[in-house]
A and B are shown apart, each in its own frame.
Chain A
């Protein structure tokens, strides 16, 4: 187990963890640092920084559009590292990067590890990185560098595979709430409740965050009954689209204080 900011977030067992996702370089190229500082001062626990990709397979329209916008703004992974590093002493919030495998592969894994360390990023989420491939090629390197990696599970993931994801996870287990791409709004059904309870009863070692379809206080509180916390993405992007960086604090307040 690594001991970085992500792991420390989960030390207080009574506190429900709020993870907010946003797309780097969106709505404007240089908003990344501003948004991180605002989320940090609003007491968000983990900031999930989406690295815009041309072909984001796991993402729904909201995040696809924000990625396209950020790419046309001229964002790149290297630039995101610069933006994060520039403000790293201005806040103490955990940062996890979410991107697709090919982006990190082209950047170069050794260079990636170095820049993660330099810029104060704590972990990675790579939804299309197969677990066995990670274990063979990257597990020991990431462990040595203290990078917290988080794997995803869905309602269709077998128990055996969930245990494998739990074993390889050094950050949090990303519990995808429903079989959908991001931003989906399927109903919270009995089936979903059973899935959450099944995961809860598996006595997994990793802390769990529930994501996909979490978009307001009600869905956040509901998810928190079954996990250490939850992740909000598309709903926050819509807020940025509508209000720019002005209402970050309001958005977070509505989720955690009511």
Chain B
């Protein structure tokens, strides 16, 4: 687990160096769960650069510890008040800020989404995850190549990083887990690969949740980091070509998995990450399969949600 509690710091370190190289003096970012916001605020504190993080009003309420962290790190957290007041709207506001301030400002996007070159660049910065998987796997099993890699997907940055150095390894099976929210058949879901169709969002051509007029449909998930109406174009490609298998986990399944991981391994995962673990209750593996699950974030930020469900698990 990386410093700041998720994989997000891999990307923000790379991008802050890029921003300095470009001579930028002001950083903006969007955040859903606050993990990317904290990672951005952290590198800005480290390098002494002004930092403004856009966050949906709803997410500010449900991810209070991360809001406090960002403020302590010296960042300004600006609420996004349009639309569903979650990740998509925070992204809209960040893009509008960038249009207003193109000269001094660098926009650190937190996932493998947005206009080119962001999906490519963020995937490369996160690729360190799969590089480490190969090294650690070699040490532990004698082989670099696992049978399966499992990761949760909202925009898909942790998944892109976990898959990156295996993209050309045909023997590795990719398992992506989306947030089903209250269920794929309800109006409260974020399972983009099932509910989405081909379109353009935030400068990417990919799968997205939209109506027949191309209006974006507001996604829903208990986890603030997975309720994005699109999916990184790399993942859309892997899913559409059949290279990756895709599953979804509901809010309840993710909560159950979070408590199971906590009680069996002593690790409190982020709600986002818990979706990846939920798949272990559903999908069967062979006894000798080598399965890698990307534990992308820890759950300190989600304690309030977990505590409110403590009596049920």
Contacts and interface: CB of A to CB of B under 8 A. Distances in A.
Contacts of A77: 213
**Interface core residue of B82, B88, B92, B96 (most chain A CB under 10 Å):** B96
Contact of A181 (B100, B214, B216): B100
A216 B82 CA distance: 28
Interface string B210-248: 101111100000000000000000000000000000000
Interface string A104-133: 111100000000000000000000100000
B203 interface: yes
Contact of B102 (A54, A60, A78, A156): A156
Interface string B78-98: 000011000010001001100
Interface residues of B, number: 22
Given A54-B83, A55-B88, A101-B200, A106 B100 contact: no
A57 B101 CA distance: 14
A116 to B, nearest CB: 17
Interface string A51-80: 001110110100010000001000011100
B214 A103 contact: yes
B103 interface: yes
B51 interface: no
Nearest to B217: A54
B85 to A, nearest CB: 13
B246 to A, nearest CB: 22
B74 interface: no
**Interface core residue of B100, B200, B202, B210 (most chain A CB under 10 Å):** B200
Given A55-B83, A57-B96, A179 B213 contact: no
B162 to A, nearest CB: 29
B199 A180 contact: no
A102 B202 CA distance: 10
B82 A64 contact: yes
Contact of A106 (B82, B92, B99, B199): B199
A103 B213 contact: yes
Nearest to B199: A102
Contacts of A180: 99-100
**Interface core residue of B202, B212, B213 (most chain A CB under 10 Å):** B213
A102 B213 CA distance: 9
Contacts of B83: 54-55
B212 A106 contact: yes
Contacts of B215: 53-54, 71, 103
Nearest to B213: A76
A132 to B, nearest CB: 11
B201 interface: yes
Nearest to B216: A54
A146 interface: no
Contact of B200 (A58, A105, A107, A179): A105
A104 B210 CA distance: 13
Contacts of B214: 53, 100, 102-107
Nearest to A53: B215
Contacts of A244: none
A179 B199 contact: no
**Interface core residue of A71, A78, A106, A179 (most chain B CB under 10 Å):** A106
Interface string A179-207: 11100100000000000000000000000
A106 B102 CA distance: 30
Interface in B25-40: none
A100 B99 CA distance: 16
Interface string B192-203: 000000011111
A102 B100 contact: no
Given A64-B82, A105-B214, A179-B101, A57 B199 contact: no
Given A57-B202, A103-B213, A179-B101, 18 more contacts: A53-B214, A54-B83, A54-B215, A57-B92, A58-B99, A64-B82, A100-B214, A102-B199, A104-B214, A106-B212, A106-B213, A106-B214, A128-B200, A154-B102, A156-B102, A179-B99, A180-B99, A184-B100
25 contacts: A53-B214, A55-B216, A57-B96, A57-B99, A64-B82, A76-B213, A100-B214, A101-B200, A102-B199, A102-B210, A103-B213, A103-B215, A105-B199, A105-B214, A106-B199, A106-B213, A107-B214, A128-B203, A156-B103, A179-B99, A179-B102, A179-B103, A180-B100, A181-B96, A181-B99
5 pairs of A and B residues whose beta carbons are closest in the complex: A106-B214, A54-B215, A102-B200, A102-B214, A103-B214
Interface of B: 82-83, 88, 92, 95-96, 99-103, 199-203, 210, 212-216
Interface of A: 53-55, 57-58, 60, 64, 71, 76-78, 100-107, 128, 154, 156, 179-181, 184
